[in-house]
Chain A
């Protein structure tokens, strides 16, 4: 069987941050209490000139540089997002032109709430393994919006990650992938509506926990592994608490979850969340490390990946490490945040 793995990756996190306490101040809520409850201290705010397309391009350019390939080698591009700049017009085509990867390639945008980016990784794996392409690009990028005053506003953030999938010189082999999918109405946004709806407490147990646990358990079964075989585990991270709790449920320690847990300092980047977490782990991973990554998308489903880091990792340095992007920041207040995210109708 042909193999497929990661040959490069890149991350984009906006420059601006807003603190949970600053959002809470505006709504007369207890910010410290909310930050502790969510496990989110601050979130990344996309600037007025950023959208999921610009974030996808910036992350993808870094991935191509890291892999050290000619972008013309890319045979397929899939962009996962739930905050597309256009309702109809593919972001994948913009990314292709901005990388000078076209015009000879397959391209499409994917939608599956927060797991559309990892669905793109699976598609690229299939195309690479079947020899239809040499290299595929999968991106998860979002500029997530929460209704002002809603609980989601404290975590909905902007950011994204891009992964190049190929078969030669992989920095991490993807040994297995498995997905778990059911029709679950935990979170949605209707056509032409600006902000999403969520089913409150329903978003926990029957949605996130059920799907992530089911996908992870089955993945361990397929890979014939146990939690202690993994150096790191990355889960989708709508907040800072769920990944730690789901890790405990599955038998992973806090330390195994820690490196890939980025939401506490940038917020929930939706399609970007688990992929940025995986990038943060790869930033510090060593040859031979085993990694488990499980995404989650409302509606609902989880994609699980079992990876092994190879010796190639020492030859390919990330263009920008996740922790450096996290540290490159400037705080804004709620008024400037409203301006950047165009929360006033006149903007």
Chain B
């Protein structure tokens, strides 16, 4: 008998105190000719219904790879997941069969990709591409699926959706194509949406439109949203809580207000301090010194130690665990108290 997601996943509310989605001690490695790239080294985060988690961090810190692991779209090999769990409503997705996984992917957990603008197929109309979701996953007829596509285009506020449904991707602007990608990702009413840098390639005025749209969709459907970004402004605007990544690890996690009031990790503090401020015009910007780490050859102890102004001897030798600062907050720094006090 064919298993559906309803067979393998507990029904609504049946997952007790578990958050909607929980990444737990996830490890991802890539086995390459140059050596083993430890892209994700024990990442844990959670998102609940209606909540927005922002994942922030240096380029190459493992934000997208973590997301790809959640979606189950890593290429294995070269990728290997030696350890960890990804629980959706209490069920570990990593233990599901590929068939069961397919039922979750795109339908219950969906993703908007970082390079969304090139993710649309240039040879099919946007209407065809959106309606495909309904034909493949819901078994709808062509005509019905097309009707749904128009509805969705309306919902993401593409003007004159009915007239434009047969246009090709190149006939839309960057912001419009991003809306079409959003339409496809929410087509099947997912419970969790992962948005990987959804506005990085867009202008601020268009970014504001897209972020407002995402917030509205979230209010309507109570999706859990994982927003991957490096924009500290966007995070401050929309996030409920934040996970900051560095060299494949979460170095700090906290509710949004706490982090902006006083970061508890030197890397987070460096990022916040390097934002240009009007009252400091004419002075040097604060700059985190040094270079991002090489994942093939991670520094010993704390991976941030070569760049850290708080470093002491034990930072070079001892790896700092994620210290619990409060029930909702943690920092992976031996000297988080000093950082918090500054």
* Bound pair (A, B): no
Residues on A lying within 8 angstroms of B by beta carbon are none
Residues on B lying within 8 angstroms of A by beta carbon are none
